Every structure is written in C-alpha cells, then in structure tokens.
Structure 1
Amino acid sequence: MKDPIPSLEDPLILNGIDGATGQYLVPPVALPAVAEVAEPRRKEPYFDAWRKWLGFVPRLLKFDLPYGVPYGDYTQAGWGVVFPASASDALRKSLEPLIAHRGKRMDAARFHVLTYQPGETAHQFLRRHGAPLGDVDPTVVPYYLLLVGGPDVIPFDVQHSLSLSHAVGRLSFDSPEEYSRYADSVVAYETGASVPNHRQVSWWGPKHPGDRSTELSADSLVAPLVRGADVDDTSFLKVPVAAQAGFASRDAIEQAATREWLLDALHGREERPAVLFTASHGVGFKANDPLQLTKQGALLSQDWSGFGAMAPAHYVAASDIQDDARLHGLVAFFFACFGMGTPANDEFPLTPTRKGEALASAPFVSALPRRLLAHPNGGALAVIGHVERAWGFSITPLGVSKPTLQPFHNTLRAIMAGEPVGHALRGFRDRFSNANSALLAHLDTNTSDGKLGPRELLFQWIERNDARNYVVLGDPAVSLRHNDLQALP
C-alpha cells in the first residue's frame, strides 16, 4: 500500500466525489502551492493573517462533572433538550414521549428543557443558563444535551463547541411526525421486553483502483478494525474490537462492498446488526444542484465504475431505504464526506484569499441519516459521522507513519459495551483539543516554542477542523442494550 502520509511531492487529495461528474469534488492540490497559502507573504503581520483565517480559536479548558458523578449514566450526569426559541408547539409536543420517558428515570434537578436564542455562541448559551465556566453542573446545564432543529436555527458551530464539554446530539427533520417517530422508537427500544438486533457489527469499506482516499480508508481503517492490524501487518494481530466486546463480525471490504450488500445490511435481510460501520466517499453536489438536499452525503459503493462516471446505482442514498427496512435499535457510524451534514461555506479554504466558497444556500443535515432515524418501521438509535469533508488525518494524524485509530476503536468499543453514544465520541473531542492547543502555541507571540513550518501548520489546521466535525445525530443518551442482544443463529 502506498505511504498514506503525503510529502511535498504528493498532491493533497480531498475526499468526496461529485455526484454529477464522477470526479473529485475538489481537484487534487499541489502541496507546495498549499504550503504557500499557509505562510502568507502579504503586508499584514503573519499572526494576524492566521488569526483571520482560523477565526475565533477558544482557549480550551478542562471540564469536569462533580466528583463521583459517572459520565456514562445520564440519570446522574443529567439530560436536557434544547429547543430553538422559534420552535412551534407542534414540534415541542412531538418529542413529549421521549422527554417524559427521560424525566421519569431521573431526579428532576438533573432534567432540563432549555431554549437557544438566535445568534448565541455556545458560551453565551451556557452563561445565560447559569453554567459556571470550566464545570459541568448537571443541576444547571446537564452533560447530555439533545439539540432540536437544523443548523439554520442552532448552528453547527454551537454543536461543535458544546461538544467540547458536553455529550451532544441533534435531531433535524422536516415534520413533527418524523420527530414523533424517532421519540416513539427510542422509548419502544428502551422499554421493550426484548431487542430486535443481533450481537453483530457489520463493516463496509469500498476500495477504488487509483483512489488514494479509499485505499487509505479500506486498508488502514476498516481492515484494522475488523482484523486487529493493518492490512500489511501480518506479524502481530491484536484482538479485534468486535471480539473484545463479544460481538460477531460480518464484513465487506473492497470488491465485496457493493451497494446491494449495504442495502441488505440496512434492511435486515439476513442478520440485524446492532452496529454498522462504513468508510467510503460521500457523494456531493454543487450548491445550485437540485439533488443536493436529497443526495448529498450518499455513500459511494464499489459499484462505481471510476472517475468520470456517476449514476444512482453507484451509491446508497436516503431514497434507497425502503419502508420495510429493519433499522430499529441500530447505531451506525458513517466515515464519509458530508455524511451528517453540510455547512453553508467551505471550512477548508486552500486559496490565498482564505475565503470558503459557498457549499450550500443554507446549512443542512444530510437526508440519509435523517431517513434512518425517523424510519416508519422503527428508527436507528443514532448515526455518527461527519459534517463537511472527512479527511485521512483522522486515520493518520500529522507526523504518524502508521494508522492511529484509537478514537475509532474506543468509540466503537464503548458503544458495544452499552455506553451512551454521545459520551462514546469523547476521543474525537480530545483530538480536537490537542490539535487546537498546537495551533494556539503557534499563534502565541509571547513564546518561541511550538512554532510550526508551513506544511505542518496547514496539516494541523486541517486535523483540528476534521476532528471537530464528528457529530452525533440522535439522542446522545441512547445506548445499546448490549446484554439483551440476540445471539446469531
């Protein structure tokens, strides 16, 4: 397998395939040119230029729950739902079954219905509700927060920032009926006499010839998670994450990762996995394309015939999920560009102007996870994935010669152990914090320590944004009833 760490001779390849042309959404960029962007040579001072490019970079603090309060128990760590101020009565009523269900399981002081005001930052939201800086007090603002509504009413940036100190999820649907279906589905899963899923993880990872992105994701992400080691490493195999949790594995990598295979897994035509993990290109469309809202973030399968070709038969989109699909009780993790959503503007501008082009007329949550969560036959519990593009830096961080998959491993292992999904994602928050700290050290004019070269500076910035953009769609307090999962026949 080709070295996944780009050198100054290699182009920087951005993930994502254009759903209209079948080419990369963004053509490969020569690294020398990109490095020039990272080191501005204009009249304005160096650090001022970078601060403008980065925007506000918060100095991260360590947040803690009170001593003895377990993060993994939402009844102790607290649960709250956050409605936008514009929420209709019908929207609020649609979630009453879930809100009442959570409220009955916990002390009233740790249960909150909160309101987000337009234009607030995450810090302003927390401060208005009385949250002390640096602490998470479940009786003031709970650790588990469910945001209600799309990024047009509660911005993605607010979700990202709250996730640094809280376990955050989001629900975003087009109608109150879809919110009701999700709420009823979660309550039914958590209160039913049994669960419908098998004790199994399904893995899916296409690998397209000549495509560096899926070579990396198939060989250095999916295969190691399935096997316990990189595809090229036969000297030592660790116990795979599924086996550690006592789960069976069913995988489709490279040629086996077809559209039909994934649709079979989603429709429960053989077994019904409790966990589904996919790594692929996400299909993207330009801002003025009428297919963007319904197809953006669709999962590109092995059926794709290569660059220059594109057809609906090459990917799995929301419209492919039939009403007879059996998704109830599933937790899915999609490693794909725009898999969870799309911001209004490009968050990775690699041009000298440092201005992100418009990606959409307004930010939105992707259709595929919304379809899974509000499915009429019982919805998925949660879907994890990426807002914006997903980069290979999640797999091979800056300066690392081999895949470093601990956040993926720990997230999946925690989910299989029955931890709440929102808290299971904490490893990616730590990665964001670490990358952010490196950038802060670089921008600190009072010290000479931590200064980065142009290439390292660029990669660190991308790695920071990439780690920040992992989100949970669904209630962050949901968890697998792992002890009740069915054994495979």
Structure 2
Amino acid sequence: MERPINRPEDPLVLNGIDGTTGQYLVPPIALPAAAEVAEPQGQAAYFEAWRKWLEYVPLTTRFGLPFDVRPEVYAEAGWGVVFPASASEALRQSLDPLLVHRHARVEPGRFHILTYQPGETAHQFLQRYGAAIGDVDPDAVPYYLLLVGGPDAIPFDVQHSLSLSYAVGRLSFDTTEEYARYAASVVAYETDEFVPNHRQVSWWGPKHPGDRSTELSADSLVAPLARGAPLEQPPQLAKTLAAKARYTSRDAIEDDATREWLLEALHGRVERPAVLFTASHGVGFKANDPLQLAKQGALLSQDWSGFGAMTPEHYVAASDIQDDAKLHGLVAFFFACFGVGTPAHDEFPMTASRGGDALANAPFIAALPRRLLAHPNGGALAVIGHVERAWGFSIKPLQMTQATILPFRNTLGWIMGGLPVGYALKDFRDRLSDANNILLTHLDANTSNGKLQPRELLHRWIERNDARNYVVLGDPAVSIRQTALKTLP
C-alpha cells in the first residue's frame, strides 16, 4: 500500500530550495508550532490581513456571463486590456498590433481598454466600470482581461480577486520592445499561415532522494498525468491526455529529468512541444540577493546533487534560453515555487516569529517566463505557474489518502483541446472558492457550525492560498491551434 505522503505527525515541508546554500528555503516546521499561526491567541497583523482579504471575495466562484455567451469563446465573452494609470504612451503603442487583432474579432461593444488606478481593490476597479465581482457583463468589463505591468503597478491581490470571476492574464516586461515582440508573436501565431503547428506534450519531473516534495510531485502528479494511471497501477496509454487530444508524448521523470533534457525541449533541439508541464523545486534567493531578480523561480533539475550543494548547472534559468530557441506556440505550466512570480512578503508565515517576512524588496514577475514570452525568435503563448511557493496540498490534501489531480488534468486537457488558457484554469478557481467558503464559515460569528481545529484551519489556509496563487502570464485568450493554417513544405 502506498505510504501517505502527508501524515498527521509529519512536519510541514515548505517547497523551494535556496539557490545559495542548497537547503530548504524554510526548514521543516513541526505542526504544533505552525498551528498557533493559523489561529493566534493574541493580536497578529498577518492574521487580520488574511481575514480582511477573505471578506473581499464572493462566497462562490460564478462565471456570471449572460446565458447566451459561451465563456470559452472570447469573441462572445469579450476581451479587454488593463493598463495602469502610469503606463506610458510608448508602452500602450507597443501592444497596438495585439489590440487591433483582438478588436477585430470580438463582438461589437465587447472590446475595452481599461485603466487601473493606484490603490484600488478589484471590487473598486470593477465598480468604477459598472460591474461587480461575480456578475460579468462583457459590455461593461469583458470576461478576458489582460493586465499590463508588474505587480508593483497592478498588485497580485487584484489579479487573484479578478480571477475568481474573469479569465485574467498578465504581461510584465522591462522594455517596450519585449511587449512589442510578444504582441507580434501572438498575432503571427494566430494569423500567419507559415507558422508551424505542433501537437506534442512534454512532461518533466525530477525526484530527489530523501525529498518529500519531489517524491510527491514526480510519483503522484507527473507520472499519473503522463501514463494515464497512478504509479502503482499499469499504464493506461489509451486514457492519457496525449491520447485523448491526439498528441504525441515525451516524458522525463526522476533520473531522466535532467537540465539538458529540459533545455532541449525549450530549444526545440530534439522535439518541439506545444505543451510543456514541469513539476520541480523552484530556486529561491533571499531579499537583497543580487541574483534574486534574474534567478528566482529557476527550475531545479535532477542534476542537483542534494542538500548543501548548488550551482547554476543544477537549474534552468532565463539566461540559459538562447536566441535560437524554438518556442513559438508553446504553452508552459511550471509547478514550482516562485515559478512565475514573487510577492513582497511571505504569505505562509508558519511560526509566530515569521509573520509576513520580506521575500523581496518589491513584488516581481520571474525572469524565466518573461524570457520565454518575449523571445526574439517567436515567443511562448502563455506560461502558467505559481506566485509564492507551490505546495503538495495541490496534489494531496492532508485528509486524502490518494492524489487529487483533477484540476491539473482538466486544465491541461482543455489547453491541449484548444480552449483559451485563461478559461482553462477555472478548476483552480473553483478550488479557491471552495476553500474560501470553508474559511469564511469558520470566521462567521453567527454560526457554531463549520468551526475548525487550529491544525485543520492551518491546512485549509494553506490550501486556499495555494489555489489562489496559480496565475497566467500572457494573453488569457490565446489557445493552441488545432489545425495548421497551411501545410508547410
């Protein structure tokens, strides 16, 4: 029988490996010490901030579009771009080709250029445009929203809150040239008859000895997705996502999940995937470390020799992606700590002495996905991944004896089937909404039902933050073409 990965007496193991020391970014923490954080006895600023955030979100995720609008069809559901009020004219113009392209394809009145004002909550932003969270009127605020700028300009919290009811993506680059490259790349993929079309999915999952995090992700996430069955059962190749979508499939799990293999996949040297799914540790650095902006969220490979060791040859970072890489048309999903971004403060303070410690001088988007999206040789369509740490609770909640990976399976299946990436993440939003319901019931002073013990409250809190932190980088309306526009010679 499979050993439960999460046992009640086990300490909490926080994902992420320090890029300098080669140790866990946060040492494993005993549950009794962590439980005090979930429901502190005295005043705790981080706990009050968490409570207030919950009050801003609706009780359930509702795709409240009109009954005759299909949410998976952006031409009907509408498309909008959200610029921060501080956006320069050069930044706005850099995305013009994409805006013109989308405007021509949506129904009249459902294309909007919107402005985010500093300090607004998601609710205030929507209210200013005559919309409310949960009630999606595409004539007021379109269902597909592309945020432009980093989390310093439009905060992560706004993106998370909007994502409960809207399909949201974000672009954040250092230069207007990078924005222009991404816009041109998407338009070319969707209109240029000579852009090739690929139907391959690649799976990559290191598994490090003695590391419970990658044991779980390799055995209970990557392997079942690639082989169509849990690891303890025979493969069911006819039931794999690849078979159902009529894709070819390549996988590199445990010893095969090397740095070289992933770089070959990202450069199109051997095979060229349309979908790439990775599950690994993300490399992290302390605030003020000069390597943090360039390396945080880099993907730690099987080449890593173990705790206490760390060199750039152990991971794949933005600087490893060469200009001749073939990424055009790729959708990547990185299950890794800080895989797409880092908030300014720790959202999982597991002991009273770690109440919202600074993770960075300012929130930022990871360098690796930015490099993929704005690649000069034609960029990726979108990168899905985690802001903050990625937890094993996404795969196996504490109370479960088996993995529950349906949100991953559905998201990847919908993407491979040609649905927009922003819509494809809806199962993770449903999971977030369910977790919010449980926590709000616990906090409701008007009922004695649904109260949680401190340890269970801690895990529900982690599950909720974990589900919230899946985000899309790129235009949420992009999708993988199901047929080539033209057969290449």
1:272-287 matches, cutoff 5 A = 272-287=272-287
Structure 1 residues 51 and 410: alpha-carbon distance in aligned structure 2, compared to 1, 3 A threshold: same
2:193–2:485 CA contact under 8 A, matched in 1: no
Partner residue of 1:202?
A: 202
2:7–2:398 CA contact under 8 A, matched in 1: no
Partner residue of 2:437?
A: 437
Shift of 1:106: 2.0
1:18-37 matches, cutoff 5 A = 18-37=18-37
2:229–2:235 CA contact under 8 A, matched in 1: no
Structure 1 residues 68 and 439: alpha-carbon distance in aligned structure 2, compared to 1, 3 A threshold: same
Matched residue of 2:87: which SS? coil
Structure 1 residues 459 and 422: alpha-carbon distance in aligned structure 2, compared to 1, 3 A threshold: same
Query: Once structures 1 and 2 are overlaid, which stretch shifts more, 211-220 or 195-204?
Result: 195-204
Shift of 1:244: 1.1
1:80–1:142 CA contact under 8 A, matched in 2: yes
Shift of 1:51: 4.3
Partner residue of 2:416?
A: 416
Structure 1 residues 261 and 134: alpha-carbon distance in aligned structure 2, compared to 1, 3 A threshold: closer
- Cα offsets for 1:389-417 (capped at 9, x unmatched): 00001001241111101110000000011
Amino acid at match of 2:404: T
Partner residue of 1:318?
A: 318
Partner residue of 2:136?
A: 136
2:197–2:483 CA contact under 8 A, matched in 1: no
Structure 1 residues 132 and 209: alpha-carbon distance in aligned structure 2, compared to 1, 3 A threshold: closer
1:207–1:302 CA contact under 8 A, matched in 2: yes
Partner residue of 1:484?
A: 484
Which residue among 53, 57, 60 is the counterpart of 1:56? 53
Matched residue of 2:53: which SS? coil
Matched residue of 2:483: which SS? helix
For 1:371 and 1:146, the matched residues in 2 are separated by 18
For 1:232 and 1:54, the matched residues in 2 are separated by 41
1:181-192 matches, cutoff 5 A = 181-192=181-192
1:199–1:486 CA contact under 8 A, matched in 2: no
Partner residue of 2:291?
A: 291
1:147–1:170 CA contact under 8 A, matched in 2: yes
Shift of 1:192: 1.4
1:384–1:471 CA contact under 8 A, matched in 2: yes
- Cα offsets for 1:232-270 (capped at 9, x unmatched): 234978711111111111000000000000000000012
For 1:210 and 1:282, the matched residues in 2 are separated by 17
Shift of 1:175: 0.3
1:198–1:486 CA contact under 8 A, matched in 2: no
For 2:39 and 2:154, the matched residues in 1 are separated by 34
Shift of 1:64: 0.9
Partner residue of 1:243?
A: 243
Query: Once structures 1 and 2 are overlaid, which stretch shifts more, 307-316 or 195-204?
Result: 195-204
2:327–2:372 CA contact under 8 A, matched in 1: yes
Shift of 1:337: 0.2
For 1:87 and 1:372, the matched residues in 2 are separated by 23
Query: Once structures 1 and 2 are overlaid, which stretch shifts more, 223-232 or 161-170?
Result: 223-232
For 2:49 and 2:75, the matched residues in 1 are separated by 42
Partner residue of 1:12?
A: 12
2:94–2:180 CA contact under 8 A, matched in 1: yes
Shift of 1:285: 0.2
- Cα offsets for 1:67-87 (capped at 9, x unmatched): 110111111000000000000
2:436–2:464 CA contact under 8 A, matched in 1: yes
Shift of 1:134: 3.3
1:198–1:271 CA contact under 8 A, matched in 2: no
User: Quick one: percent identity of the two aligned structures?
Assistant: 74
2:201–2:248 CA contact under 8 A, matched in 1: yes
Partner residue of 1:395?
A: 395
Structure 1 residues 486 and 28: alpha-carbon distance in aligned structure 2, compared to 1, 3 A threshold: farther
Shift of 1:289: 0.5
Shift of 1:52: 4.7
Shift of 1:37: 2.9
Q: Which runs of 4+ in 1 moved over 6 A?
A: 235-238
Partner residue of 2:386?
A: 386
- Cα offsets for 1:264-309 (capped at 9, x unmatched): 0000012211100000000000001000000000000000000000
User: Structure 1 residue 92 and structure 2 residue 89: aligned?
Assistant: no
Amino acid at match of 1:484: A
Q: Over aligned residues, Cα RMSD in angstroms?
A: 2.1
Matched residue of 1:147: which SS? strand
1:336-485 matches, cutoff 5 A = 336-352=336-352, 355-484=355-484
Amino acid at match of 1:56: W
1:119-158 matches, cutoff 5 A = 119-158=119-158
1:197–1:273 CA contact under 8 A, matched in 2: no
For 1:53 and 1:162, the matched residues in 2 are separated by 17
For 2:133 and 2:350, the matched residues in 1 are separated by 34
TM-score in terms of structure 1 length: 0.96
- Cα offsets for 1:94-120 (capped at 9, x unmatched): 000000011111233000000000000
For 1:236 and 1:414, the matched residues in 2 are separated by 20
Amino acid at match of 2:231: V
Matched residue of 1:11: which SS? coil
For 1:49 and 1:304, the matched residues in 2 are separated by 35
Amino acid at match of 1:460: R
Shift of 1:486: 10
Shift of 1:49: 9.1
Matched residue of 2:274: which SS? strand
For 2:322 and 2:232, the matched residues in 1 are separated by 38
Shift of 1:452: 1.1
Query: Once structures 1 and 2 are overlaid, which stretch shifts more, 258-267 or 242-251?
Result: 242-251
Structure 1 residues 99 and 115: alpha-carbon distance in aligned structure 2, compared to 1, 3 A threshold: same
2:5–2:212 CA contact under 8 A, matched in 1: no
Give ranges in structure 2 of 5+ residues lacking alignment. none
- Cα offsets for 1:119-142 (capped at 9, x unmatched): 000000000011145310111000
For 2:159 and 2:31, the matched residues in 1 are separated by 31
Amino acid at match of 2:230: D
Give ranges in structure 1 of 5+ residues lacking alignment. none
- Cα offsets for 1:342-392 (capped at 9, x unmatched): 000000011225621000000000000000000000000000000000000
Shift of 1:447: 1.2
Shift of 1:56: 2.1
Partner residue of 1:83?
A: 83
Structure 1 residues 2 and 338: alpha-carbon distance in aligned structure 2, compared to 1, 3 A threshold: farther
Partner residue of 2:256?
A: 256
User: Structure 1 residue 117 and structure 2 residue 117: aligned?
Assistant: yes
Structure 1 residues 53 and 106: alpha-carbon distance in aligned structure 2, compared to 1, 3 A threshold: closer
Structure 1 residues 237 and 199: alpha-carbon distance in aligned structure 2, compared to 1, 3 A threshold: closer
